[in-house]
């Protein structure tokens, strides 16, 4: 029988008030760029996409991630971008805080060390707002969204006919 696996990634997840603000920003982008808005409850910023993890390795992964220590930081989402290769419109920051880059690098190094490397290209902090965007020109952000990040989470992605559903598996506070 095939071994059970779980599709996992590590992310920053906004609280409800911030998700409202980001959903509004997605609405502003949608007017110019078209496509499909991410559902409010699915908005997040991925730090590392690990992908299929054998279920029996989850305790090891949780223990490893739980050992990481990192300071709180602030992310200013102040620009929009478009990637032609996957047709997404995303919110990003002109100057990513070093603590954000360090946290993503630490997570990636640690998971790789136990044979669960992040997949995909080098880390570019971004929050996907629109998928299947039809216009490539993104508008300026009228009012940056300021995010005081206090925790990071491990999330399971469950693929469904209407898109991915995300379930929080665990979370860790920043210092």
The residues of the shown chain that bind ligand 2AM, judged by CB under 6 A, are 9, 46, 49, 88, 119-120, 128, 157, 164
Please identify, using beta-carbon distances, which residue of 163 and 175 lies nearer to ligand 2AM: 163
Point out which residues pair with 145 in neighbouring strands: 77
Q: Cβ of residue 70: shortest distance to ligand 2AM, in angstroms?
A: 20
Per the CB < 8 A criterion, the answer to whether 73 and 99 are in contact is yes
The whole-angstrom separation of Cα 106 and Cα 109 is 5
**1 versus 121: smaller Cβ distance to ligand 2AM:** 121
Nearest CB to ligand 2AM, comparing residues 15 and 71: 15
Q: Which is nearer to ligand 2AM, 1 or 119 (CB)?
A: 119
Burial profile 118-151: b = 16 or more Cβ within 10 angstroms, e = fewer? beeeebebbbbbbeebebeebeebeeebebebee
Minimum separation from the CB atom of position 175 to ligand 2AM (A): 25
Nearer CB in complex with ligand 2AM: 9/147: 9
HSE, CB side, 13 Å, CA atoms: give it for residue 2.
5
CB of 73 to ligand 2AM, least distance (A): 19
Question: What separation, in Å, do the N-terminal and C-terminal C-alpha atoms of the chain show?
Answer: 43
Q: CB of 101: closest distance to ligand 2AM in angstroms?
A: 16
In whole angstroms, what is the distance from residue 58 CA to residue 115 CA? Answer: 13
CB of 42 to ligand 2AM, least distance (A): 9
């Amino acid at each position: 029988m095939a071994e059970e696996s779980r599709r996992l990634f590590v992310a920053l997840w906004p609280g409800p008030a911030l998700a409202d603000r980001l959903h509004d920003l997605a609405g502003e982008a949608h007017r110019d760029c078209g496509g499909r808005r991410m559902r409010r409850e699915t908005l997040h910023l991925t730090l590392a996409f690990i992908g299929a993890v054998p279920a029996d390795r989850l305790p090891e992964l949780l223990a490893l991630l739980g050992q990481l220590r990192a300071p709180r930081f602030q992310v200013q989402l102040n620009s929009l971008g478009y990637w032609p290769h996957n047709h997404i419109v995303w919110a990003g920051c002109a100057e990513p805080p070093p603590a954000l880059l360090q946290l993503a690098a630490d997570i990636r190094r640690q998971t790789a060390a136990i044979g669960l490397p992040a997949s995909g290209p080098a880390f570019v902090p971004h929050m996907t707002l629109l998928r299947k965007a039809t216009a490539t020109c993104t508008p300026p952000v009228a009012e940056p969204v300021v995010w005081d990040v206090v925790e990071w989470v491990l999330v399971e992605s469950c693929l469904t006919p209407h898109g991915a559903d995300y379930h929080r598996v665990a979370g860790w506070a920043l210092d």
